[in-house]
């Protein structure tokens, strides 16, 4: 195992208010699509297996997103059913308000602090909430590859952004998401997982900001919530 002994990670997912989410995505159901992608992302993360992912923490000020995503998890509606997973069943999906309300990095720092208090001794894994094609096995492989101490980063499909930033227990997350975030995270000391994982985790590396990204995710196979929104949009357009 490249990253040493496994540890129970807490996955932190930031999500804007749905009305403001995915502003670059030119799609008639943009808000519903943002919610669906976050739902699929959270479900896939929760299905990794509790030996690797101990919990999923959604950071958002959108009450509809909070109700939909945590409610779906509580009902046991696993949006990643059929994907490979190990280790004792789905992790809990919880939500907390984005109290700083000052953008992505502030939300992630806030979520990391809450995770450290609620789950002491666990690492924190900050992840994009728009990974519509994510499979649990991909996230499992990436988290098992992360070092048992310090930080690690995984680049997006373009190679410049960040889809996953890990901080092992006792390490500060230090998120710098934004333009050229992958290089910034590497320069700040995060171990780069991208080369080692390469093309083995395509869904994890495929975040969705534009219609071109969405088309690429659909080729990989999106989760059921995203698929349902896209099918409804297609039916309405027809």
In a domain, 191, yes or no: yes
Give the residue ranges of DSSP H helices in the chain: 30-46, 63-74, 104-118, 136-145, 181-187, 194-197, 202-205, 211-220, 224-237
108 vs 111: CA distance, rounded Å: 5
The answer to whether residue 1 sits within a structural domain is no
What pLDDT tens digit does each residue of the chain (238 aa) get? 344 445 699 999 999 998 877 777 877 678 899 999 999 999 999 999 999 999 999 999 999 999 999 987 555 444 444 344 445 679 999 999 999 999 999 999 999 999 999 999 999 999 999 999 999 999 999 999 999 999 999 999 999 999 999 999 999 999 999 999 999 999 999 999 999 999 999 999 999 999 999 999 999 999 999 999 999 888 887 6
| Residue 3: inside a domain | no
Across-strand partners of 164?
127, 154
In a domain, 36, yes or no: yes
Phi-psi label, residue 10: left if phi above 0, alpha if psi -120 to 50, beta otherwise:
beta
Residue 27 domain flag: yes
At 233 the pLDDT is: 80
Distance between CA 163 and CA 81 in Å, rounded?
A: 22
pLDDT confidence of residue 129: 95
Residue 15 belongs to domain with CATH number: 3.90.550.10
How much is the pTM? Answer: 0.91
List the beta bridge partners of residue 15: 60
Note whether residue 26 is domain-resident. Answer: yes
Domain-located, residue 224: yes
The number of folded domains in the chain is 1
With a CB cutoff of 8 Å and minimum separation 6, the contacts of 238 are none
Does any domain span residue 37? Answer: yes
For residue 34, give its domain range. 9-237
């Amino acid at each position: 195992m490249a990253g040493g002994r496994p540890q129970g990670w807490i996955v932190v997912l930031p999500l804007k208010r749905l009305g403001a989410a995915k502003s670059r995505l030119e799609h008639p159901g943009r808000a519903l699509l943002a919610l669906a992608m976050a739902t699929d992302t959270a479900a896939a993360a929760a299905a990794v297996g509790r030996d690797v992912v101990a919990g999923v923490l959604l950071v958002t000020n959108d009450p509809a997103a909070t109700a939909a995503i945590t409610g779906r998890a509580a009902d046991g509606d696993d949006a990643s059913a059929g994907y490979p997973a190990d280790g004792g069943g789905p992790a809990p999906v919880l939500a907390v308000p984005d109290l700083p309300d000052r953008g992505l990095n502030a939300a992630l720092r806030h979520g990391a602090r809450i995770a450290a208090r609620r789950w002491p001794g666990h690492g924190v894994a900050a992840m994009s909430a728009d990974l519509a094609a994510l499979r649990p096995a991909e996230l499992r492989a990436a988290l098992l590859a992360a070092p048992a101490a310090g930080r690690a980063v995984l680049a997006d499909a373009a190679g410049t952004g960040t889809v996953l930033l890990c901080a092992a227990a006792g390490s500060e997350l230090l998120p710098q998401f934004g333009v050229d975030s992958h290089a910034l995270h590497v320069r700040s000391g995060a171990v780069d997982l991208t080369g080692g994982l390469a093309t083995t985790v395509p869904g994890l590396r495929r975040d969705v900001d534009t219609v071109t990204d969405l088309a690429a995710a659909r080729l990989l196979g999106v989760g059921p919530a995203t698929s349902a929104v896209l099918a409804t949009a297609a039916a309405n357009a027809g």
